[in-house]
Amino acid sequence: MAKPLVSDELWAVVAPLLPSRPPRPKGGRPPVDDRAALTGILFVLRSGIPWEMLPREYNAPLD
């Protein structure tokens, strides 16, 4: 099984540093899970691919 990009240990360090989410007004794009967003960012940085080519499995939003 492949090692996850954001391990539980890393997430335990990062999660407390993230701001809490304010209440969402009606409308707009739904928020992306913070851990999924970090995983996508790390995938792009490690692989060197453009953001537009981020696979859907990394929770890339549809435009």
What pLDDT does residue 49 have? 92
Determine the pLDDT at residue 21.
84
Burial of 40 (0-12, 13-18, 19+ CB in 10 A): buried
Q: Note the pLDDT tens digit of each residue in 1-60.
A: 567 889 999 999 999 999 998 877 787 777 888 998 899 999 999 999 998 888 877 765
| DSSP-assigned letters across all residues of 15-58 | GGGSPPPPPPPSSSPPPPPHHHHHHHHHHHHHH---GGG--GGG
| Spatial distance between the Cα atoms of 55 and 43, rounded to a whole number of angstroms | 9
Model pLDDT, residue 58: 72
- pLDDT at res. 30: 79
pLDDT at 61: 58
